């Protein structure tokens, strides 16, 4: 089960979202057939983290997380419940509900830290940084981003490194003193890491984050030349949020 879950993450990062969905659908089917609560909780949790949320399928992620929390309460699994709550906060953040997200996040991060675990720390600390920035709490946002980068280095959990840098680039223009050059540097770093790791999904996101300000600066050709080859690599997953946004951006750049 765990092999299917982490293979699904690898497939998604490599640019095969449909294959990732197939793997995790099989993992979830197996978990339900086995009927073992811990196995089911982890299958549901990883399906939301590695498929539904990255795809933008929030309507599918929400009931799965609610099922995880109910099972965690029933079986006394505080770590799993904490991760599920942090993923709920992630969805609220991505859907523009920062005020709701911070409440759920605060409860989830307290429970998470009480377990002593560090796994997925870079992801959740990045989410916190983004929430804080959207709420205008920039000192806290950059403190969380600093903790994110420290967690990446100390735990060697590198799979989220490119995305963490991209999120830092997104936060930069929101600050009271926006710095376009600093944001560009973060996006370039995200792109370099994604390419080195062959993480096509992160590479696509980083390219979009670079292309948008270039478009606004009138550098439409440069933006299209950056994004088009990366988009062209994908052979599946065209119904996912990222690929839809990339297609729309490319269409706009071609006008």
* Contact by Cβ (8 Å): 75, 49: no
pTM for this model (two decimals) = 0.93
pLDDT digits (tens, 9 = 90+) for 157-180: 999 999 999 999 999 998 888 899
In the prediction, which pLDDT does 4 show?
64
* pLDDT lower than 50: segments of the chain: none
Q: What φ, ψ does residue 17 adopt, rounded to 5°? A: -65, -35
* Contact by Cβ (8 Å): 188, 4: no
3-state SS class at 97: coil
Tokens of 87: 């993923």
In the prediction, which pLDDT does 120 show?
93
In the prediction, which pLDDT does 2 show?
59
Among positive and negative, which fits the CA dihedral 38, 93, 54, 121? Answer: negative
pLDDT digits (tens, 9 = 90+) for 59-105: 999 999 999 999 999 999 999 999 999 999 999 999 999 999 999 99
């Amino acid at each position: 089960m765990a092999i299917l879950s982490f293979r699904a993450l690898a497939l998604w990062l490599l640019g095969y979202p449909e294959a990732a969905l197939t793997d995790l659908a099989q993992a979830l089917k197996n978990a339900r057939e086995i009927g073992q609560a811990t196995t089911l909780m982890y299958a549901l949790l990883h399906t939301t983290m590695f498929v539904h949320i990255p795809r933008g399928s929030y309507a599918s992620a929400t009931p799965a997380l609610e099922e995880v929390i109910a099972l965690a309460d029933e079986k006394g699994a505080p770590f799993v419940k904490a991760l599920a709550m942090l993923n709920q906060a992630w969805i609220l953040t991505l859907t523009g509900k920062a005020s709701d997200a911070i409440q759920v996040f605060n409860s989830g991060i307290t429970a998470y830290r009480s377990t002593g675990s560090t796994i997925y720390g870079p992801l959740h600390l990045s989410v916190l940084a983004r929430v804080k920035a959207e709420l205008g709490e920039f000192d806290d946002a950059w403190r969380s981003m600093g903790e994110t980068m420290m967690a990446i280095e100390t735990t060697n959990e590198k799979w989220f490194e490119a995305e963490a840098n991209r999120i830092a680039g997104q936060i930069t223009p929101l600050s009271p003193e926006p710095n376009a050059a600093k944001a560009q540097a973060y996006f370039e770093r995200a792109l370099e890491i994604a390419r080195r790791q062959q993480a096509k999904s992160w590479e696509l996101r980083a390219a979009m984050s670079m292309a948008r300000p270039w478009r606004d600066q009138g550098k439409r050709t440069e933006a299209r030349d950056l994004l088009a080859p990366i988009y062209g690599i994908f052979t599946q997953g065209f119904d996912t949020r990222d690929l839809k946004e990339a297609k729309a951006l490319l269409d706009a750049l071609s006008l």
